[in-house]
Structure 1
Amino acid sequence: MSVDSRLPHALVEGPVRGVGAFTLELARSLGAIALVAARTVLGLPRLERRELVRALVQFGYDSVPLAMATAALAGVIVVLQSGLYIQRFGARAFLGWAAGYGVLWEFGPLLLGLIMSARIGARNAAELALLQVGGQIEGLRGIGLDPFAILVAPRVVAMELSMLALSTFTFLVAIVFEAVAAYFMLDLPLRVFFGTFAQMLGALDLVGGVVKVGTFGLAISLVSTAVGLSARGGARAVGQAAASAVVRGCAAIFVLDLLLTLALAGWMS
């Protein structure tokens, strides 16, 4: 067989192998996440409450300053972006609705999910990876204790509750900063901003944002836990687990955001 005849075969074989390797890795990752979810549910009745409290402080309370700063920045950015189109089409009265919808429905949940994936997702994966490579998790099994009831289930529950609680403060702070930014940058009275906000936004819009944040929080907790528990090796494995948790968590958030947007938009229409 000549070199020219082997060339088309090589051009096809490379992409096929790449797709196959990606499919296998995706299947392994989804299987690991499903296993973590199932064992976490089984460990909930024996959940270690002291670890839950510690995880709530670590993942929730300690994340408040970052979440508030993110919310304030998001509110100002949404107003600036919306204001460009609002002024162009002479629809200043609708700025409150447009900015509020952007924060509650899309920009707020997505930005909070990405920020928390980088913070609590990476931290959770690194801590579990450190325990995994150090033998502590295997040691718990050796003395008849369930690592999922002691370590994993409290972390998953704490991250989910933290994300839901942070979303409440995030949405509130973002909307307040939107109103202030609209007043000082676009000379829009506060009563006009909040008037259209209250008239055109309903409870379902808020529910959609909370559903997204809750789903993102569950994805972050399960993905980071699966990555941390699958770590093998030494100190390098801990760093790789943290980086992988961020990348996979963000990818999961983008995919879920697309699916949830399609589902919620169809349900509300």
Structure 2
Amino acid sequence: MNREEWQNKVHQNHQRSEVQRSEGEEENHVDTDAYFAFIKRRDDKIFNNVSEQISNVSGRFSLFKKAFIFTFWFLQPILYKIGYFTRSYFRFFLNMLSVSFGVCLKSVSWVTWRRTVRYEFKKTLSQAVSGGFFSTLFTASLTGLAVVSQAVYWLGAAGLSKMTGPILITVILREAAPILVGMILLGRNGIVTVAECGQLAFGGQLKTFASMGIDPFISIVVPRTWALTLGCFSLGMIFGMVSLFIGYVATYVMGTMQDSIWTFYGQILLSMSLWDYILVPLKFLVIGFSIGIGSCVTGMNVRANDEASITISKGFTRGILLIMVVNILFTMEF
């Protein structure tokens, strides 16, 4: 190829690119004009509908009716903004209710519990119980030393040894244990669920699962929610037994407690009412269920402009809020 042919080819390519650019600008111009025309037709249609409604109003108090129609039409964009921001604040709560109902509805069907779902359930339950076991033991030991032993010591010194059982039931099993176990489960497993679900949603894997015929709700949300529910219950029972045992050992060493361990546990059990046998396990179950639902909802509703640190901190804050709300609701009701 000589120099003239090369220059002709470059000139032809330049002309071709100029033609394509001009055609693209014309298409964009046409699209913009069509969009503005559509907006104008829509506004004209809305104004004509409002004018027709006002003209059809007659009878008594017609002036007030016309003023109401015009005012509502004028304030409609403002009401839309107010409703949008209001729904944004209550969106997490509404999502929690809908997802909770969906989990309960899907869990009763045996078709839901396929092999992959059972595997996810077993894996999450194993991680929840084994991962939080030593943290629960350590926290329960500190609680037994700080709360149980001091309560037994000072109640005995004040001559109120008969109040030991009811006070320990109220302070340890009803109030302290659900909050501490919920925080352990949230930190060990809830945040991991938020991060994993957020990564799947941000990377598009959830849409890929749906296109392959795999429902992410059944494969991820259902097994993880029930696994965290049972995990919270298991860790809660371990926490209660260990904290009371460590508290007994500490008071026995100090010489405050002279009864046997079985007598001490018997006093605790006799101090529990029927509501305590129902309330304490149910509170652990509801807290674990709330942590599972909240973690999955927070992770799967991640947006494109959200950073990982913001999503994780949001999941932790929501988890703490759910734990406290459930604990307060149970305390108020019972």
TM-score w.r.t. the length of structure 1 is 0.81
| Matching residue of 2:279 | 208
The yes-or-no answer on 1:168 pairing with 2:231 is no
Distance 1:259 1:96 in 2: 23
**Superposition pairs for residues 31-46 of structure 1, below 5 Å?**
31-44=94-107, 45=109, 46=112
Larger-Rg structure: 2
**Aligned to 1:54, which of 120, 123, 142?**
123
| Matching residue of 1:250 | 320
| Matching residue of 2:204 | 135
Q: Once structures 1 and 2 are overlaid, which stretch shifts more, 239-248 or 20-29?
A: 20-29
| Matching residue of 1:230 | 301
Alpha-carbon RMSD across the aligned residues, in angstroms, is: 2.6
Q: Percent identity?
A: 26
The yes-or-no answer on 1:116 pairing with 2:179 is no
**Superposition pairs for residues 1-269 of structure 1, below 5 Å?**
24-44=87-107, 45=109, 46-47=112-113, 48-83=117-152, 85-86=154-155, 89-185=158-254, 187-191=256-260, 193-194=264-265, 196-233=267-304, 237-264=307-334
* Structure 2 letter corresponding to 1:204: W
Distance 1:59 1:22 in 2: 36
Matched position secondary structure for 2:307: helix
1:194-239 deviation digits (Å, cap 9, x = unpaired): 45324423453233211111111111111111101111237x6333
1:72–1:173 Cα contact (<8 Å) kept: yes
Matched position secondary structure for 2:159: coil
Any gaps of 5 or more consecutive residues in structure 2? 1-81
| Residue 145 of structure 1: how far off its partner (Å) | 1.4
Size of the aligned set, in residue pairs, is 245
Q: Once structures 1 and 2 are overlaid, which stretch shifts more, 85-94 or 125-134?
A: 85-94
| Residue 93 of structure 1: how far off its partner (Å) | 4.8
CA distance 1:202–1:40, change in 2 (3 Å)? closer
Distance 1:34 1:103 in 2: 29
| Matching residue of 1:3 | none
TM-score w.r.t. the length of structure 2 is 0.66
Higher relative contact order (Cα pairs below 8 Å, separated by 6+ residues): 1
CA distance 1:202–1:35, change in 2 (3 Å)? closer
1:100-121 deviation digits (Å, cap 9, x = unpaired): 4421111111211122222221
Distance 1:241 1:49 in 2: 28
CA distance 1:174–1:22, change in 2 (3 Å)? farther
1:129–1:237 Cα contact (<8 Å) kept: no
